[in-house]
């Protein structure tokens, strides 16, 4: 038996999504920029996909641009805000995804980068954010993720949006982990840039999108042809875009059903861990408002926990120690370190989808009993 509990890294492509993609691999392979019938058919399919994404975000179709995924979308938002909107200061946080942090590290020296304070539970210190926005005179971009991909803590989008509006700052949110899992309405929390990636909601890898508010006039991030209304050069990944739209549509339509199932699965695991093991902690308020697809578990130090990820893999269970950048490795988490400092506890991220079952959670708990000493067991000296 193989149990996949690393859905925050990537998800299984849905069979219905693959079926929607296949005709555009086999038959409708025209270049969307071509003016002949096959090209027009491909172009029309892309625009239908754009309309689906826009409708589910309550955005206009002119605000949706397809990209290669979350990393490109996030890079585009930050770098184009600097190049085209005159941004000279960026406020972010130390627990962002690496595609944000590494981008910030690579910016020109004249760009001021500030890190907002993060509270012990991983939430943004909103008072600190407000003070930073008040104190600055430079044109500012606030870049904060909606849900942390490692511990699942959520950002109050409306609160940050209101603060940015009050202080005339641009607002970018990395929404890769929340797309398809939470309702997203850009009219209810005005935002300038927002990113999504298909493979996080059972679509194909290598395709994503960026929402760009129509009042944020930026230019193309990639130079070349006039694709994506002159906003993203390069021949479109047509079957990827078709798959993204189908996966997104399914995720929205089935959101409540999926959420109920996933929350039950996560709850079963959390309760099973507490019942069977000593000194278990959770690196988020899993019973409160959080990203329900993630449960980050802190195991106490022991000789058996040192290679916990590897032993789980050998037992047939896929999990991770942090972001997708370090999935399958024993590398420590920059998120946990930012919150707790260096720790000798072992932190494992289990992340779920609606494909996971109660039987898989039972399998995981039984496997852990053979790796980590359970409660009430005799320990030989």
User: Would you say 198 and 204 are in contact if contact means Cβ atoms under 8 Å apart?
Assistant: yes
For 85, other C-beta atoms within 10 Å of its C-beta total 15
Catalytic residue of the set 80, 99, 164, 325:
325
Q: Give the per-residue SS3 of 42-63.
A: HHHHHHHHHHHHHHHHCCCHHH
In 289-371, the DSSP E strands lie at 294-299, 317-318, 346-351
Handedness of CA 307, 312, 313, 315 (dihedral sign): positive
- Residue 291 in tokens: 């990203």
**3-class DSSP state of 136:** coil
DSSP state for residue 92 in the 8-state scheme: E
Please say if 325 is a catalytic residue. Answer: yes
Q: What angle do CA 165, 168, 169 make, to 5 degrees?
A: 90
- The DSSP call for residue 331 is P
Tally: H helices and E strands in the chain: 12, 12
How are the residues of the chain apportioned to helix, strand and coil, as percentages rounded to the nearest 5? 40, 15, 45
Torsion angle in degrees (nearest 10) through CA of 126, 131, 132, 133: 90
Residue 96 DSSP SS3 = coil
Q: Are 204 and 69 in contact (CB under 8 A)?
A: no
Contact between 115 and 143 (Cβ < 8 Å): no
E-only strand ranges, the chain: 3-4, 64-67, 89-92, 112-115, 140-143, 170-174, 193-197, 208-212, 281-282, 294-299, 317-318, 346-351
Question: Cα–Cα distance between 40 and 30 in angstroms, integer?
Answer: 8
Catalytic residues: 325
């Amino acid at each position: 038996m193989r149990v996949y509990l690393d859905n925050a890294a990537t998800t299984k492509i849905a069979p219905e999504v693959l079926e929607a993609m296949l005709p555009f691999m086999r038959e409708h392979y025209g270049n969307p920029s071509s003016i002949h019938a096959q090209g027009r058919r491909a172009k029309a399919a892309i625009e239908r996909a754009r309309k689906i994404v826009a409708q589910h975000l309550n955005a206009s179709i002119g605000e949706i641009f397809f990209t290669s995924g979350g990393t490109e979308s996030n890079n585009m938002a930050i770098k184009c805000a600097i190049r085209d909107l005159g941004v000279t200061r960026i406020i972010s946080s130390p627990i962002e995804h690496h595609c944000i942090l590494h981008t910030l590290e690579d910016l020109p020296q004249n760009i001021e980068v500030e890190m907002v304070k993060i509270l012990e539970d991983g939430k943004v210190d909103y008072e600190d954010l407000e003070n930073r926005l008040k104190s600055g005179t430079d044109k500012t971009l606030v870049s904060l993720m909606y849900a942390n991909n490692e511990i699942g803590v959520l950002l109050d989008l409306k609160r940050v949006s209101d603060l940015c509006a009050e202080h005339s700052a641009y607002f970018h949110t990395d929404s890769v982990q929340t797309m398809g899992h939470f309702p997203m309405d850009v009219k209810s929390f005005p935002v300038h840039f927002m990113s999504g990636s298909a493979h996080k909601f059972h679509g194909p890898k290598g395709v994503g999108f960026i929402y760009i508010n129509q009042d944020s006039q930026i230019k193309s991030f990639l130079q070349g042809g006039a694709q994506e209304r002159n906003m993203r050069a390069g021949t479109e990944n047509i079957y990827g875009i078709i798959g993204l739209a189908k996966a997104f549509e399914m995720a929205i339509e089935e959101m409540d059903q999926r959420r109920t199932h996933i929350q039950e699965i996560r709850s079963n695991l959390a309760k099973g861990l507490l019942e069977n093991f000593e000194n278990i902690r959770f690196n988020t308020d899993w019973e409160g408002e959080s990203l329900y697809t993630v449960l980050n578990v802190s195991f106490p130090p022991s000789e058996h926990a040192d290679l916990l990820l590897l032993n789980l893999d050998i037992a047939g269970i896929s999990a991770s120690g942090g972001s997708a950048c370090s999935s399958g490795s024993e590398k420590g988490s920059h998120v946990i370190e930012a919150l707790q400092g260096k720790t000798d506890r072992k932190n494992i991220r289990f992340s779920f989808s609606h494909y996971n079952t109660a039987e898989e959670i039972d399998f995981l708990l039984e496997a852990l009993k053979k790796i980590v000493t359970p409660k009430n067991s005799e320990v030989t000296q």
